[in-house]
Amino acid sequence: MDYFEINGRKQLQGEVEISGAKNAVLPLMAAAMLNNKKLQIVNVPYLSDSTTMAKLLESMGAKVAFDSHNSITVDSSSLDSPFASYDLVKTMRASFYVLGPLIAKFGYAKVSLPGGCAWGPRPVDFHLEGLKALGVDIKIENGYVIASTKEMLGSKIHFPKISVGATGNVVMAAVLANGVTTLSNAAAEPEIQQLCNMLNSMGAKIEGIGSNTLIIEGVESLDSINKISVIPDRIEAGTFMIAAAAVGGKVKIKKIIPEHLDSVINYLKKAKIQLDIGSDYIYIESDGLSIASTDMETNEYPGFPTDLQAQWMMLMCLADGVSTIKENIYYDRFTHIMELNRLNCDIKLENLIAKIQGNQNLVGADVMSTDIRASAALIIAALCAKGKTKISRIYHIDRGYDKIEEKLSNLGAEIIRKK
Ligand code: UD1
């Protein structure tokens, strides 16, 4: 298995281009099956999750061609098997995104339940309740969701909690339902906005995009569009922003939509990090030393993203006092604490609030990735630590970060992938 060897305390200097968003490309690929046509998706991040979604679509009969490094064409005209196997779904929860489009396309689907993940149970009850409200019959048999319907009818659906995946799944079904569907407490994340915008350009009728209420007037069928370009990955961008702030240096983060990062920008400003915000870039200058301790809590968009919580925690490990983190999306998404503490960070978990005592004395050690974002936090910690750090199980990072070691090396970091 591959691992990273990192030699810390090298300041970061230069420019880095951000790839397309993992959490946007996956639902776009699933939505490509809705119209039996070809769809070219560009600015696709080169990640194992993109490949997993491609394999899943192929396993159902679609043709997926990787035209170049970051462009794929999905041809769903030959997709004829509405079955998503456990083998593929267990490696990537977002595979569950195929359920909504499959039921809209075939009136029937058999999709494996995803199971839990490193930071606890991650149920799919909102997805299933939403589909049931549209008139879909749902049975669970041998770990599979068996969904069937004769006709989907528009409905009023209120999600008990905002869910990115449930919103995407139900939207992809409701666009082809008969009548009007209203989704309240729906996700407003930029990735869901892009999905809805793409569906509208295919002829769907979705209003309220970017708000927490979506009104969807069902249409008979969707047209083809030639091409869609995936929005920049705000989580990758935020990871590089936090890395530059923590390690120190001067870094220009390019090809981004700064507005998608407003909450991260605001928290970095509170932590006294200097930022210059352009139309499609953010420039960060930091000495890595004068970081103000800042309490933070994660929230749904436009709040601070849970997918940057581990990286932010790492930054606070260097701050000038005590700071706290409250995780409001996944209450126990804290598996990175033990690993960060191995590098001499000082983090305690009390009543689901992380308390971080900052210090500037991080020292390299052997650590283990537990999930995609925890791995990113460990890389940043290793870049700040004195001496060598070995990070194992980096297959997690390959799921969500496009060429991370190349991008960091170009900024002057000493990071090597080893077998
Ligand atoms: C997506 C992102 C993930 C991010 C998360 C929260 C993708 C591929 N993944 O995951 O990176 O961390 O949003 O921003 O886009 N919930 C339920 N029942 C459900 C669905 C969700 O109780 O049926 C709960 C979850 O346990 C969690 C909260 O709702 O507490 C939000 O989860 P959700 O937005 O659904 O996360 P994902 O879509 O899986």
Q: Render 10-47 in DSSP notation, one character per residue.
A: --EEEEEE--B-HHHHHHHHHHGGGGSSEEEEES----
Q: Ligand 1 center to residue 11 CA distance, Å?
A: 35
Domains of the chain, start order? 3-19+232-418 (3.65.10.10), 22-221 (3.65.10.10)
Q: What is the pLDDT of residues 254-285, one digit of tens each?
A: 999 999 999 999 999 999 999 999 999 999 99
Are β-strands 366-368 and 388-392 bridged in parallel, bridged antiparallel, or unpaired? parallel
Per annotation, catalytic residue among 117, 196, 345, 384: 117
Q: Ligand 1 center to residue 163 CA distance, Å?
A: 5
pTM for the whole structure: 0.98
Beta-carbon contacts of residue 115 (< 8 Å; ≥ 6 apart): 90
Residue 116 has pLDDT above 70, yes or no: no
Q: Which of 52, 157, 163 to mutate to test the pocket of ligand 1 (most atoms within 8 A of CB)?
A: 163
Backbone CA torsion sign across 322, 306, 336, 378: negative
Cβ atoms 241, 233 nearer than 8 A: no
Give, rounded to a whole angstrom, the gap between the first and last alpha carbons of the chain.
Answer: 6
Residue 117 has pLDDT above 80, yes or no: no
Q: Token pair of 74, please?
A: 């999905």
Q: Ligand 1 center to residue 317 CA distance, Å?
A: 27
Q: Which of 128, 157, 164 to mutate to test the pocket of ligand 1 (most atoms within 8 A of CB)?
A: 164
Q: Ligand 1 center to residue 94 CA distance, Å?
A: 10
171: left (phi over 0), alpha (psi -120 to 50) or beta: alpha
Alpha helices in 309-371 (DSSP H): 309-316, 336-342
Q: Which atom of ligand 1 is nearest to the CA of 163?
A: 34
Q: How far is CA 295 from CA 176, 236, 305, 326, in A?
A: 44, 22, 14, 8
- The partner residues of 325 in beta bridges, in order of sequence, read 296, 354
Q: Is 2 helix (H, G, I), strand (E, B) or coil?
A: coil
Task: Evaluate: CB of 60 within 6 angstroms of ligand 1.
Answer: no
Cβ atoms 33, 105 nearer than 8 A: yes
More confident residue, 419 or 296: 296
pLDDT level of residue 55 (50, 70, 90 thresholds): very high
Rounded CA separation 127/98 (Å): 11
Tell me whether residue 117 is one of the annotated catalytic residues.
yes
Rounded CA separation 349/329 (Å): 16
Q: Token pair of 393, please?
A: 């199980």
Cβ atoms 89, 99 nearer than 8 A: no
Residue 237 has pLDDT above 90, yes or no: yes
Give the containing element (helix H, strand E) for 275. strand 274-277
CA dihedral 309, 389, 367, 295 (to 10 degrees): -20
| Per-residue pLDDT at 22 | 97
Q: Ligand 1 center to residue 53 CA distance, Å?
A: 18
User: Smallest Cα–Cα separation from 114: which of 140, 80, 91?
Assistant: 91
Ligand 1, atom 38: closest residue by C-alpha: 165
| Per-residue pLDDT at 259 | 98
Q: Going along 69-161, which residue ranges are E strands? A: 71-75, 83-84, 108-112, 137-141, 144-148, 156-158
More confident residue, 269 or 371: 269
Q: What is the pLDDT of residues 26-52, one digit of tens each?
A: 999 999 999 989 999 999 999 999 999
Rounded CA separation 399/406 (Å): 15
Q: What is the mean pLDDT of the chain?
A: 96
Rounded CA separation 311/401 (Å): 14
pLDDT level of residue 1 (50, 70, 90 thresholds): confident
Residue 382 has pLDDT above 80, yes or no: yes
Residue 120 has pLDDT above 80, yes or no: no
Q: Is 383 helix (H, G, I), strand (E, B) or coil?
A: helix
How many helices and strands, by DSSP H and E, does the chain display? 14, 24
Q: What is the pLDDT of residues 159-211, one digit of tens each?
A: 999 999 999 999 999 999 999 999 999 999 999 999 999 999 999 999 999 99
pLDDT level of residue 118 (50, 70, 90 thresholds): low
Rounded CA separation 373/363 (Å): 21
pLDDT level of residue 122 (50, 70, 90 thresholds): confident
Task: Evaluate: CB of 149 within 6 angstroms of ligand 1.
Answer: no
Task: Evaluate: CB of 94 within 6 angstroms of ligand 1.
Answer: yes
Task: Evaluate: CB of 304 within 6 angstroms of ligand 1.
Answer: no
| Per-residue pLDDT at 69 | 81
